[in-house]
Chain A
Amino acid sequence: MDLAHRKPHPNYLAIWAYLFVLTIVEVAVAFLSHLPRNLLLLALVFLAVWKAALVALYFMHLRFEGNRLRILAAAPLPLAFILVLAVITEFRW
């Protein structure tokens, strides 16, 4: 790997600011909004996944990795969903 050919680093501070803003939005949504319960849940989970995705894509560099590594990283997620969703049907479906 030649130093001269490296891509410039992504603007990490911008990602940091992004995460910071999202966290504030999240706390605000949780305590200040008057959304119905299910919608609130959806909004909070959406925000959390958004933040997690930012960390994975930029800080963990998945955005810049090859497809093989991305597949490897994503492989356990379906299993996690299968387990939780199947067991939840014990109570609600």
Chain B
Amino acid sequence: MAHVAVMEPPAAAERGAGVYNEKLGMWIFLGSEVMFFTALIGSYIILRVGAPGPWAPPGVVLNIPVTAFNTFLLICSSVSMVKAFASIVDGDQQKLKFWLLATILCGATFVGIQVYEYAHLIHRGFLPSGIREGSELAELVARGTLPAATAGIYGSTFYTMTGFHGFHVTCGVICMIWVFFKALRGGYSATDYRGVEVIGLYWHFVDLVWIILFTIVYLV
């Protein structure tokens, strides 16, 4: 088989989706991911609409500046990912490695900041089960700044949604490291950049989910 044909839909087949198998498979998988996050985010929306009282106002529990910076990081990692893709499409191996490494660093930093955020929140008394007795946040509840009735589901939904998003980022970083090592060995070229494109699709999807999460969890 000529090398050029690798990036085409499978030869000797009826006309399909018009893209090669791995890319098609990733898009199908992302459809499944959409439904998975629908279950988590949808439950959050439903619980919030049906909540027995007012929800915590934005910025009281969660640290918005830190998360805004994290959002910025993830957007940067998305652009570095797409730059890596553009580089290998043009056959530039050096730039591919550079941009992949940049993406890995941004993604890993994102996860690191999220872990820091979690540790800080737990320290202040924000748990998946609600507000810890005697903590800093418990005082806010006592003063009436933080509604007590919805604190439990606030913690439940916050940690579940952002936790699974963080898990997806972590998986993405691990896969990206694998792609990076393959790129170091010269595993990709202008005629076969399947791995880079496919991991890129996943990465942008995870970024996209974060864009939604940042708005509806932190800002609303």
Contacts and interface: CB of A to CB of B under 8 A. Distances in A.
B101 to A, nearest CB: 17
Contacts of B79: 12-13, 15-16, 59
Interface stretch (B43-51, B112-120, B122-130, B160-168): B43-51
A34 interface: no
Contact of A59 (B30, B191, B204): B204
Q: Is the interface of B mostly helix, strand, loop or mixed?
A: helix
A23 B50 CA distance: 28
A39 interface: no
Interface residues of B, number: 51
Contacts of A91: 46, 49-50
Interface of A: 1, 3, 6, 9, 12-13, 15-16, 19-20, 23, 26-27, 30-31, 41, 44-45, 47-48, 51-52, 55-56, 58-60, 65-66, 68-69, 72-73, 75-77, 79-80, 83-84, 87-88, 90-92
Interface of B: 4, 7-8, 17-19, 24, 27-28, 30-32, 34-35, 38, 42, 45-46, 49-50, 58-59, 64, 68, 71-72, 75-76, 78-79, 81-83, 86, 89, 91, 190-191, 200-201, 204-205, 207-208, 211-212, 214-216, 219-220
